[in-house]
Amino acid sequence: MKRHCSRLFSAQLDLNASELAQRLAIVQLYKAQGGGWNPETPAR
Protein backbone atom coordinates (compact mmCIF):
# COMPACT_ATOMS: atom_id res chain seq x y z
CA MET A 1 0.00 0.00 0.00
CA LYS A 2 2.79 2.41 0.92
CA ARG A 3 4.50 1.84 -2.44
CA HIS A 4 1.23 2.58 -4.26
CA CYS A 5 0.79 5.88 -2.39
CA SER A 6 4.37 6.87 -3.15
CA ARG A 7 3.90 6.15 -6.86
CA LEU A 8 0.61 8.05 -6.89
CA PHE A 9 2.18 11.06 -5.18
CA SER A 10 5.09 11.00 -7.61
CA ALA A 11 2.70 10.85 -10.56
CA GLN A 12 0.71 13.79 -9.17
CA LEU A 13 3.90 15.83 -8.79
CA ASP A 14 4.87 15.00 -12.38
CA LEU A 15 1.43 16.01 -13.62
CA ASN A 16 1.57 19.32 -11.74
CA ALA A 17 5.03 20.04 -13.12
CA SER A 18 3.93 19.35 -16.69
CA GLU A 19 0.78 21.47 -16.31
CA LEU A 20 2.89 24.33 -14.96
CA ALA A 21 5.33 24.01 -17.86
CA GLN A 22 2.42 24.07 -20.32
CA ARG A 23 0.96 27.23 -18.76
CA LEU A 24 4.34 28.96 -18.74
CA ALA A 25 4.82 28.06 -22.42
CA ILE A 26 1.42 29.60 -23.24
CA VAL A 27 2.39 32.81 -21.43
CA GLN A 28 5.74 32.93 -23.24
CA LEU A 29 3.99 32.46 -26.59
CA TYR A 30 1.50 35.21 -25.76
CA LYS A 31 4.30 37.60 -24.81
CA ALA A 32 6.33 36.70 -27.91
CA GLN A 33 3.36 37.68 -30.06
CA GLY A 34 3.28 41.12 -28.43
CA GLY A 35 0.64 40.39 -25.82
CA GLY A 36 0.60 41.83 -22.37
CA TRP A 37 -0.65 44.89 -20.60
CA ASN A 38 0.71 48.08 -19.15
CA PRO A 39 -0.39 48.38 -15.50
CA GLU A 40 -0.09 52.16 -15.70
CA THR A 41 -2.67 52.43 -18.48
CA PRO A 42 -6.09 53.20 -16.96
CA ALA A 43 -8.87 50.70 -17.60
CA ARG A 44 -11.60 51.76 -19.99
> Is residue 21 within 8 Å of 28, Cβ to Cβ?
no
Q: Calculate ∠ Cα 24-28-23, nearest 5°.
A: 20
pLDDT tens track for 12-28: 999 999 999 999 999 99
pLDDT at residue number 9 = 94
pLDDT greater at residue 44 or residue 23 = 23
Q: How far is CA 3 from CA 6, 7, 9, 17, in A?
A: 5, 6, 10, 21
pLDDT at residue number 10 = 94
What is the average pLDDT score of the chain? 88
